[in-house]
Each structure stands twice: as C-alpha cells, then as structure tokens.
C-alpha cells in the first residue's frame, strides 16, 4: 500500500479518540446528575479501551493519518489508568476469598468445596440463607475452624476470630432485620490483630431513570464511616460492594482502604464485565486480585494475595 494514499484527513476519528482519552483520564468530569451517568461510566471505564481497535480499523480504512496519530491519546490514558492492573506480585502473607454465593445457589456444598481449593486463610460470603449457612459451615469446618455469621454475611478463617460484632450499614428506611455487615478481629500468630470487615452493599438498578445507586451510596457512606472509626491500624475489607473501585459512589470506602492489581471481573458470572466484589486493605498491600471459576452463583468468586 503506497504511503501517498495516507493523508491528514478523517478528523472525525481523531476527535472521537480525543474524547475517549478525556473520559479515561478525567471520568469525574462527567457529572452525576439525574440518572447518575458519571457512576455508570466509571463502572465500565476499562471497557472504553475497546474503542481503540475500532478507531484503528476506521482510520486504516479511511487512510487517516490524523486518526492514527490521535490514537496515542486513548492508548496512553488507558495504560496510565489501568496498565498497573496487569502486573501482579507473588509475595504474600495471606490469601483471601470473597464471594456472593447467591441465595438461590442450588449447590452450596459444591461452592464451598470450590472456594476451599484455593487454600485461603479467609473466606467471606454474602447472601447466606439459614440453610445455606449451615451447609457452608459443615463443609468448611475442617479447613476453617473459626467462623462468624451476622445476618446474611459470614466469615470463615483458618486463624482465630475474636470481637465479632455487626456493622450497621442500613440505608434509611430499611428495617432492623437487614443485617449485611460484620466486623471481627483476625488473630494470626506473632502479629498484631487485624480488623476484618465483611459487607454487602445494596444493589444498583438500571431503569428509565438511569443508574439507581442511592441506597448503595448511602450504605457506602456508613461503611466508610465505620472504617474511619476503626481503631486497628490494619484492616481487611471483603464484600460485594455493588460497585467498582472507580465508581465515585464508593469514594467513602476507597478513602479508607485500597485494592490491588488485577481486573478480576466478577459480575455477571456468565459474561463478567465489572468487578463489584472487592478485597481491600489498609496498612497492608493487595498484591494481586483474580477471579475464580464459576459456582452456582450469579457472581464469580474473587481471590487476593495480601502482604503485610
């Protein structure tokens, strides 16, 4: 193909590339007005990278030098924002697993066995039913002799758990029977106690009014406040937060704890497009997060390596 056929034309693809780069670099510039478009964008932000090969093909087809050169902008913005997610670390002190097991899971015993194969030190579960909780306790008992359940969330551990108590993250108007948060202290030999939180924030809904996340955001503020008041220096948070770490609705939580490298998309299980199940820490490092094979849930489990 002769170079003379390439010209400085096709400014449309170049303009789209610039817009995509701007959204990747400054997603907070999109306001969270009615319908919450900002939070919706941040939920699926890594997927804006799909625009790059589309624009590449379009620019190639139109022989547009402007379009090709402009692709440097979204590529650089994506690498700056998400390139670090591709590099994980191998050193760790603890493996943790987080899973929304689904209250409609038809095989809780099989799910429990699948999670135990990773040989984690901690397992956090959400959407526990009374019957399901009994099955998980029975199957996991041999490998995880210490466990605690509060409402529909539970924590299983190979190390002793003390000072177990509920954490109230109920949005306004939700009844007292809605218990989706717990806090415990993990006692590992030779180490200071670590505060471990398990939380299940309210679901978000897509509808004619847009991205409905009001209750999720209110619950996130309550969880963030509990983490801010936590006296222990080291904290591990495991939970279905119904939001990605980029979603501004989770900023109260993200201000207290951080995640680590790895996309680990967890929802929906059949075609995961976002990681809404999180393992986050304070005064510790999540060196890698990855998703596990599907179970009987509509979420994939996620696992993380944690280094003190």
CATH of the domain at 298: 3.60.10.10
| Whether residue 48 is found in the same domain as residue 79 | yes
Q: What is the pLDDT of residue 209?
A: 67
Single residue among 86, 109, 124 that ends a domain in this structure: 86
Q: What is the pLDDT along the chain (308 residues), one digit of tens a residue?
A: 455 576 777 788 899 999 999 999 999 999 887 778 899 899 999 999 999 999 999 888 888 888 899 999 999 999 999 998 887 777 799 999 999 999 999 999 999 999 999 999 999 999 999 999 999 999 999 999 999 999 999 999 999 999 999 999 999 999 888 999 999 999 999 999 999 999 999 999 877 767 789 999 999 999 999 999 999 999 999 999 999 999 999 999 999 999 999 999 999 999 999 999 999 999 999 999 999 999 999 999 999 999 99
What tokens were used for 24? 């990747």
| Whether residue 56 is found in the same domain as residue 98 | no
What tokens were used for 11? 């400014």
Q: What is the pLDDT of residue 302?
A: 98
Starting at the earlier edge strand, list the strands of the sheet with 146-150: 146-150, 153-157, 122-126, 94-100, 302-307, 285-291
The Cα 43–Cα 195 span in angstroms is 28
| Whether residue 18 is found in the same domain as residue 40 | yes
Q: What is the pLDDT of residue 5?
A: 77
Instruction: Choose among 299, 219, 214, 307: nearest CA to 258.
Output: 307
Single residue among 54, 86, 118 that ends a domain in this structure: 86
Domain tally, the chain = 2
| Whether residue 169 is found in the same domain as residue 99 | yes
| Whether residue 183 is found in the same domain as residue 294 | yes
| Whether residue 113 is found in the same domain as residue 82 | no
| Whether residue 225 is found in the same domain as residue 134 | yes
| Whether residue 20 is found in the same domain as residue 115 | no
Q: What is the pLDDT of residue 1?
A: 45
| Whether residue 112 is found in the same domain as residue 226 | yes
Single residue among 59, 86, 113 that ends a domain in this structure: 86
The Cα 64–Cα 58 span in angstroms is 8
| Whether residue 65 is found in the same domain as residue 132 | no
| Whether residue 226 is found in the same domain as residue 283 | yes
Range of the domain at 178: 94-307
Give first-to-last CA distance, the chain, whole Å: 56
| Whether residue 30 is found in the same domain as residue 160 | no
Q: What is the pLDDT of residue 233?
A: 97
Burial 270-303 (b: 16+ CB within 10 A, else e): eebebbbbbbbbbebbbbbbbbbeebbbbbbbbb
């Amino acid at each position: 193909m002769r170079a003379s056929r390439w010209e400085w034309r096709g400014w449309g693809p170049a303009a789209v590339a610039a817009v995509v780069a701007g959204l990747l670099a400054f997603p907070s510039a999109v306001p969270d007005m009615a319908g919450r478009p900002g939070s919706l964008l941040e939920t699926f932000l890594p997927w804006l990278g799909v625009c790059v090969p589309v624009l590449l093909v379009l620019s190639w087809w139109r022989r547009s030098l402007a379009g090709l050169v402009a692709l440097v902008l979204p590529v650089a913005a994506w690498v700056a924002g998400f390139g670090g997610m591709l590099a994980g670390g191998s050193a760790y002190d603890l493996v943790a697993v987080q899973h929304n097991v689904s209250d409609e899971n038809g095989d809780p015993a099989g799910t429990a066995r699948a999670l135990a194969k990773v040989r984690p030190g901690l397992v956090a579960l959400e959407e526990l039913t009374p019957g399901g909780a009994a099955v998980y306790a029975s199957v996991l008992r041999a490998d995880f002799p210490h466990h605690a359940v509060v409402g529909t969330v539970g924590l299983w551990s190979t190390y002793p758990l003390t000072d177990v108590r509920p954490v109230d993250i109920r949005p306004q108007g939700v009844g007292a029977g809605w218990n989706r948060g717990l806090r415990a202290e993990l006692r590992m030999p030779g180490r200071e106690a670590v505060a471990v939180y398990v939380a299940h924030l309210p679901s978000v809904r897509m509808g004619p009014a847009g991205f409905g996340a009001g209750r999720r955001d209110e619950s996130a503020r309550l969880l963030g406040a509990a983490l801010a008041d936590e006296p222990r220096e080291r904290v591990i948070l495991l939970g279905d937060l119904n939001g990605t770490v980029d979603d501004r609705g989770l900023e109260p939580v993200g201000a207290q704890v951080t995640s680590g490298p790895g996309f680990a998309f967890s929802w929906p299980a059949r075609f995961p497009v976002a990681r809404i199940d999180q393992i986050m820490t304070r005064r510790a490092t999540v060196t890698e997060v990855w998703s596990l094979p599907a179970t009987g849930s509509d979420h994939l489990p996620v696992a993380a390596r944690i280094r003190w």
